[in-house]
Structure 1
Amino acid sequence: MASVKTFGFSFLLRLVCLSPKPQKRAVRERHKPSKSGFDYHRSLRLRIQQIAFEGLSDAQVLASTDQITKAPERASAKRGLERFFKWREDNPGALATCPALTFLSPRGFFKVTFQPDFLLELDGRRTAIHVWNTQQKLSGNLVMAALWAVASRFPPQNRPDDFAVLSLQDGRFYRWSDATKEHALLGENLLTMLDTQCELARTELGLPAIGPEAPLPIA
């Protein structure tokens, strides 16, 4: 059975917020054998986790960005950290780890991995937070739909009370708990639409057919 591509949650957000032609192109590029899906913002997330779980200070992780070789990545990490520090001033509290979730799309043409950067109690709810630091503008409704797709598939064991995306670009904070039934339907439609895009990309690139694999049930 041929393997399918696994999309990180940031890549999923990027895809659903693209217009049709760039979206199709991004899916096709991701399916090319040479495309490994380099995470441009891994440096930022790594340093946030060093603050949260390894006891490093804000000053230490900010200074460590000088070790990042690529200038654009270094500048992006510094800006993101400074904005994260500001957000933490308004949202203090102990940061905790949260297990990742990987689930199969409805038709089985791709997988999604949601790896929260940290867990933080907000308004009495243990909230799994994914940090977004890409310049691409997010659509609130599409982000909420993507969060619903994750939340509905998260197993009951150790399940967070809420799921959220923190955009360090504009300071917006998207919570799954604010989503509606319309977002739930939109989330499933988005996954099905991306299934079609992935199927088309595999056909165009001459990739082997995929075999059946049962998706996780929706909670």
Structure 2
Amino acid sequence: MAPVKTFGFSFLLKLVCLNPKPQKRAIRERHKPSKSGFDYHRSLRLRIQQIAFEGLSEAQVLASTDQITKAPERASAKRGLQRFFIWRKDNPGLLEACPALTFLSPRGFFKVTFQPDFLLELDGRRTAVHVWNTQQELSGNLVLAALCAVASRFPPQHRPDDFAVLSLQDGRFYRWSDATREHAALGENLLAMLDTQCELARTELGIPAIGPEVPRPIA
């Protein structure tokens, strides 16, 4: 039995915001044997954590981007940091760490890891924020649906009051607390749809059946 793939939250957002054909292609590629990826988000996340948890200044982390070897990754991290600094001026406060959540999809064909980049009190709510720094355009309704899928599965212990996505591409801020029941239902439908796509990809690529692991009930 082959293990199932684990999708980071940024990849989940990318998938749900893709049109059907590129979505199917992206899922199929993800199920092929692993190849070295080009993770733009990692460099930015590392530097945000250095500001939040290691006491580095904005100038220090911005200067450190010169050490990034690949030019596209360097430019992406630098641009993202500059936009993050602007956002922070309007949203000051202590940045804290927040535990990650990994959950299994409804039919067990993939896992999702939601790793907040930081926790920040906003409007009296301790908000777990995931930073989006990819050029792909996001759909507000689909982002809220994905956040609902996370919120419904986050355990009571160390649970934030809110969950959010900060897009450094356009400055938009998506909060789970703004979601409706329709968004929650859409989130479950999206997971079910991706289960079907992952099952199809495994069949097409001849990947063995998944194991007996089953998802936990939704809280």
Same fold (TM over 0.5): yes
Aligned residue in 2 for 1:100: 100
Verify the 8 A CA contact 1:29 1:35 in the aligned structure 2: no
Aligned residue in 1 for 2:69: 69
Structure 1: how far apart are the matches of 2:38 and 2:191? 22
* Structure 1 unpaired stretches of 5+: none
* Structure 2 unpaired stretches of 5+: none
Q: Secondary structure at the match of 2:33?
A: coil
Structure 2: how far apart are the matches of 1:33 and 1:106? 24
Verify the 8 A CA contact 1:6 1:110 in the aligned structure 2: yes
Structure 1: how far apart are the matches of 2:163 and 2:5? 24
Structure 1: how far apart are the matches of 2:4 and 2:38? 17
TM-score computed with the length of structure 2 as normaliser: 0.98
**TM alignment of 1:98-177, pairs within 5 A:** 98-177=98-177
Q: Which amino acid aligns with 2:59?
A: A
Q: Secondary structure at the match of 1:41?
A: helix
Aligned residue in 2 for 1:198: 198
Aligned structure 1 segments of 4 or more residues deviating by more than 3 angstroms: 35-38
Aligned residue in 2 for 1:85: 85
Q: Secondary structure at the match of 2:40?
A: coil
TM-score computed with the length of structure 1 as normaliser: 0.98
Residues 158-192 of structure 1, C-alpha deviation per residue, up to 9 Å, x if partnerless? Answer: 10000000000000000000000000000000000
Residues 92-117 of structure 1, C-alpha deviation per residue, up to 9 Å, x if partnerless? Answer: 00000000000000000000000000
Aligned residue in 2 for 1:20: 20
Aligned residue in 2 for 1:40: 40
- The 1:216/1:11 distance shift into structure 2, 3 A limit, reads same
Once the two structures are TM-superposed, the CA of residue 211 in structure 1 deviates from its matched residue by: 2.0
Instruction: State the aligned residue count.
Output: 219
